[in-house]
Structure 1
């Protein structure tokens, strides 16, 4: 008696998955459809327009004459009768120019001081054999969750005699624990063999930090430096509570006085009252001056953002 064996057809064999075949990819890894790409393009275009259009209005209004601003009824959208008189008056001396120099000086000195302290602290905490590094690390972490508060901080600054000094704009916010932790994580990822070989050759900790660790950490140092610089340039709160001398005010505080409080800048009140220059163009020009340094520096540091922020966060 013969036995009939059912053999699968070619179609069934083709449909059966091979044990050596790669598993199917998730839907988000598949190539997007044309409709999806078009929708993403529309969303990105709208986001760019929403960001750039207000900036365009600010720049055009700062470059417009009083006649153009009066004809537009305020903010100008279409440029006409372009003039740089607002910038010429602001940079020709007076309150705004002095405030811009104060902000520039505080930013440069504060960033250098903050980076020096942060790099030294992060390097010490990244060495497992350093003195009491675990206790210091736990103390720093505790400050991220618990703070002394505004009144004790103000009393401390006042007791140290820092009120009405430029140090009051730097020291209270000189160090960020988050930035120290990012630097520490990056330093810990550097090969231990490099530092050990340098130590065998007679190099000390400062030489290892300066000649080995820092050159290998240019990306994260550039990113953290930008964070500190933007923080100092944009800071206004410390000046509002620690400074009473108007001649010492940074640019951000002067911008608040001009834009929100509608005050007239010292040295330009007469020209504004007589109609030689528009108060709105002065306000917009101050806003452009406050945004310009960040907009200029950001593209140069942008290439380091991914490496500087992600590589140091792999371990730690």
Structure 2
């Protein structure tokens, strides 16, 4: 059966529109990468678009030689790993519990969780709470306040609800308790949604800067996003960097671009490895079967 003329026209328009969307989406990233590899003169003259002009790696050497940058990087890795582990543990347990239709008070717990999507205590009450608990200048001030994302919770709950109840009933007959069913039956069948939620939480923790800016006073605990924020805001200077006077102008010209590229690189490298889980995890958890 041949495609109709209207359908073929739709496909052409669809390809053109989506290609334009890809170009518009990718341009800022390519432009930042090009600026990070360009010379001071080309950047100041506005000659850099998608191709580097006056290729140089000097600023990369300066930034990667800065101990504060690597200290922030190590802190970010720590916060991301610990925060993602805590978030996944709490979200998985909560989602699995409320996905069981026989759970007493199930509606209350779901309503309570959804309520927090629209209403929260606000900045000042949250700050007072974290401070009164003595969490300032600790990792827990970063990873605990937003440990559970209600959106991720609802996606995972819907995914668990779509699983056949017969599997759990058969496992219960074989002698598995609730924890055994979750660990040995449910989770092995939920790799797609688990990978997707892990990515969501990891990206959130990696990009987070405001909580660190709010609750951390010690520079040795700052994540790399605070380093980047200070670069963009113009607060951090090159005092800790051993740049020569001749190279100071070049470093100042594209130091923000270099820092941004180095900051987002790990997350960009992770995406291809979990791409196959990403779409299926979101679709299966977002559509109730």
Give 5+ residue unaligned stretches, structure 1: 1-28
3-state SS in 2 of match to 1:281: helix
In structure 1, what is the Cα distance between the partners aligned to 2:18 and 2:247?
42
Q: Which has the larger radius of gyration?
A: 1
Normalising by the residue count of structure 2, what TM-score does the alignment of the two structures yield? Answer: 0.88
Normalising by the residue count of structure 1, what TM-score does the alignment of the two structures yield? Answer: 0.81
- In the TM superposition, 1:32-71 aligns within 5 A as 32=6, 36-64=10-38, 68-71=39-42
How far apart are residue 96 of structure 1 and its match?
1.2
**Quick one: which of 53, 70, 82 aligns to 1:109?**
82
Give the equivalent residue in structure 2 for 1:88: 61
How far apart are residue 266 of structure 1 and its match?
4.8
The answer on whether the counterparts of 2:44 and 2:253 sit within 8 Å (CA) in structure 1 is no
How far apart are residue 31 of structure 1 and its match?
5.3
The answer on whether the counterparts of 1:90 and 1:97 sit within 8 Å (CA) in structure 2 is no
Q: Specify whether residues 53 and 312 from structure 1 end up closer, same or farther in structure 2 by C-alpha distance, changes over 3 A only.
A: closer
Higher relative contact order (CA 8 A, sep 6+): 2
Q: Specify whether residues 299 and 139 from structure 1 end up closer, same or farther in structure 2 by C-alpha distance, changes over 3 A only.
A: same
Q: Specify whether residues 71 and 191 from structure 1 end up closer, same or farther in structure 2 by C-alpha distance, changes over 3 A only.
A: closer
RMSD: 2.3
Instruction: String of CA shifts for 1:277-301, please: whole Å, max 9, x gaps.
Output: 5223321111001221222222333
Give the equivalent residue in structure 1 for 2:146: 173
**Higher deviation after alignment, 133-142 or 202-211:** 133-142
In structure 2, what is the Cα distance between the partners aligned to 1:310 and 1:33?
25
The answer on whether the counterparts of 1:220 and 1:309 sit within 8 Å (CA) in structure 2 is yes
The answer on whether the counterparts of 1:95 and 1:265 sit within 8 Å (CA) in structure 2 is no
How far apart are residue 219 of structure 1 and its match?
0.8
1:234 counterpart = 2:204: no
Instruction: String of CA shifts for 1:53-103, please: whole Å, max 9, x gaps.
Output: 332221122223xxx322442563443553333333323341111111111
